[in-house]
Amino acid sequence: MSSSFASVDSLKSNSSLDDLKKRIFYTLFILIVYRFCTYVPLPGIDAQALKGLISNNQRSLLGMFNLFAGGAVSRMAILALGIMPYISSSIIIQLLTGVTDYFKNLKNSGEIGRRKITQYTRYGTVILAIVQGYGVAVSLENSQGIVLEAGFYFRLVTTITLLTGTILLMWLGEQITARGIGNGISLIIFAGIVAEIPGALASTFELGRTGAISAGAIIVIIAILIAAIYFIVFVERAQRKILIHYPKRQIGNKLYGGDASHLPLKVNTAGVIPAIFASALLILPITISNFTSSSNELVILNDLTSAPYKIWLL
């Protein structure tokens, strides 16, 4: 009898391991598809002129969004908008659940309300992607020499392509969440940032080789990065333990209870939401100004909105 129970347990463990392997490989496959799509460029773009524009704005707000998009902005790929429209829409819906009764009721309605909120988030993603995609198209036309044939057709194709790329990215993230490992949106953002690390390290070492940066400065930069990662992990894992005392109860002639425990509360309960929310807010002035502003005004506005990012880089 004991051997039969052991065989059943071994079968369960083997099936769970097989399921874990399938989830891991499925997640890796989706991430590979995502990275491949970041190299598919938009039609009607001069690659050399775009490369010059990106190289001159690496330390601006454009460079930050290029980092979040996994380098898709520098190549002006179909995923140039990244997952930011979806994140912005999610944040807006979450804010509405705290200020409107309708969304409060949806939040407290269980699975049906959650599906409705997800549906509204997708609708908001489509609207934001259309607005931002059209803003990107107009901004590209205002930049000299990037667009080969400017006009209504280019704006239409660019807007639809960027909208499709954002919807595809949103769908890939949902597939990872449902069939893969972890949160799909977070993994896509993480993969995009990690994919840019080798290029950043190579450019840093190249500056050291040419003498633009001393070897001591490179060592200091690496030490600061390691210390920053350690501090971030330390704060993210930090907990404040709230002591809980259970009262004693007398049942018959015996006393029960009187134990002490603790309630763990994370120190950083917001996670990366504030940083992502700030990034979403920073892009709004530039998106709106793309419809009416000239190129010089856009440069000034880009410098103003990217000032906190530049200070962080320094």
Residues 188, 232: Cα–Cα separation, whole Å: 20
Residues 63, 69: Cα–Cα separation, whole Å: 10
Residue 308 reports pLDDT greater than 80:
no
Highest mean predicted confidence (pLDDT) among 179-183, 222-226, 296-300: 222-226
Residue 281 reports pLDDT greater than 80:
no
Q: Quote the mean pLDDT of the chain.
A: 75
Q: What is the pLDDT of residues 95-104, one digit of tens each?
A: 888 788 888 8
Other Cβ atoms closer than 10 A to 83: 26
Ordered by start, the domain boundaries in the chain are 21-213
Residue 295 reports pLDDT greater than 50:
no
* HSE-up of residue 168 (Cα within 13 Å, Cβ side): 20
Q: What percent of the chain has pLDDT over 90?
A: 4
Q: What is the pLDDT of residues 203-251, one digit of tens each?
A: 778 878 887 778 888 888 889 989 988 888 888 888 888 877 777 776 6
Look at residue 289 in the predicted model and tell me its pLDDT.
Answer: 58
Residues 25, 42: Cα–Cα separation, whole Å: 29
Is residue 215 within 8 A of residue 208, CB to CB? The reply is yes
Residues 312, 64: Cα–Cα separation, whole Å: 11
CATH superfamily of 21-213: SecY subunit domain (1.10.3370.10)
Q: What is the pLDDT of residues 64-76, one digit of tens each?
A: 666 666 667 777 8
Residue 88 reports pLDDT greater than 60:
yes
Residues 291, 310: Cα–Cα separation, whole Å: 25
Q: Which of 95, 161, 81 shows the shortest CA–CA distance to 125?
A: 81
Look at residue 296 in the predicted model and tell me its pLDDT.
Answer: 44
Look at residue 40 in the predicted model and tell me its pLDDT.
Answer: 84
Residue 271 reports pLDDT greater than 80:
no
Look at residue 55 in the predicted model and tell me its pLDDT.
Answer: 65
Quote the pTM value: 0.70
Residues 259, 247: Cα–Cα separation, whole Å: 8
Residue 276 banded pLDDT, cuts 50, 70, 90:
low
What single letter denotes the amino acid at residue 206? Answer: E
Q: What is the pLDDT of residues 101-120, one digit of tens each?
A: 888 888 888 788 888 888 89
Residues 302, 314: Cα–Cα separation, whole Å: 17
Q: Which residue would you say has higher pLDDT here, 306 or 221?
A: 221
